[in-house]
Amino acid sequence: MKKKTVAVIGAGTIGADVALVLSLNNYSVLLKDLSKVILDKAEKSIRDSYRFTKMMRKSDPMPSLNDVLNRIELTTDYEGFQETDFVIENITEDYEAKKNVYLELKKMCRKNTIYGVNTSCISITKIAALMLVPENVIGTHFMNPVPLSKLVEVVMGYHTSEDTIEKTRHLIQTLQKTCIVVNDLPGFVTNRVMMLTVNESIWLVHDQVAVAKDVDMIFKLGFGHKMGPLATADLIGLDTILNSLSVLYENYNDPKYRPCPLLRKMVEAGILGKKSGRGFYNY
């Protein structure tokens, strides 16, 4: 696949970082969200993430910030989506919200457009069923922070074609990342394991077994993790953690996925992690 324009829907932390990584690798990007306010925040996030990435990748040559920003077009509508071969969707972890987006995309995009669903737990097969060509829908689960993570978990839905898998694999390789293809069951590999770990760590705080920093320190010193599960939860967003656990609980009907009451209380209080300035840590 030639390096053309990739459309990115959802300009939150992950969406902004996906747009940055695409631009760093010479793609033109359409970055769409609902309002100019959100897009202005996304542009600031891209600038900050660029500086952080440059600091962390001192030995890697990077294009200038101006070149990166010039390749990213911020938009609140679907103008230009007819010209793109690949859409990566990163909106909130909520099926009904995603459904509304894909019904719009079905009207606006070409028949051969590939749709990468960036989700933690929602069924790729269920999303694909909304589209005219379900074979063109695939999961593209980017890891946070996107510019530094080497992995993209690619999820093959019931209908996903080999051609779609190969084109997705090629796109990800051009972003200097490795893709691992897994089958479509809620949570896939990463989140079936990680959400359990995060949730159980929250239960440890809830049950007063240990404070958050000590739980994380055990994982860092004892298991060699770069970041503990509760700091990871703050980075992802506690609302996203809660939504993901709720999807897993609903789909598997297994009590091991029942969200800890402390998590639910924190989300209801607006304590969402890094993006709100406070979670298990203060930012």
Q: Kindly list the catalytic residues.
A: 120, 141, 153, 191
Alpha helices in the chain (DSSP H): 13-24, 36-56, 65-70, 95-108, 124-128, 162-174, 190-206, 212-217, 223, 229-236, 238-252, 261-268
Distance CA 8, CA 19 (A): 7
Label residues 10-25 b or e (16+ Cβ within 10 Å = b): bbbbbbbbbbbbbbbb
CB atoms within 10 A of CB 104: 14
Of 27, 26, 29, 69, give the one whose Cα is nearest residue 51: 69
Residue 273 buriedness (CB in 10 A; 0-12 / 13-18 / 19+): buried
Q: If you compute the radius of gyration of the chain from its CA atoms, what whole number of angstroms results?
A: 19
Cis preceding linkage at 61, omega within 30: no
> Do 29 and 5 touch, CB atoms closer than 8 A?
yes
Positive/negative CA dihedral, 173, 175, 178, 180: negative
DSSP 179: E
Q: H or E element: which one contains 116? A: strand 114-117
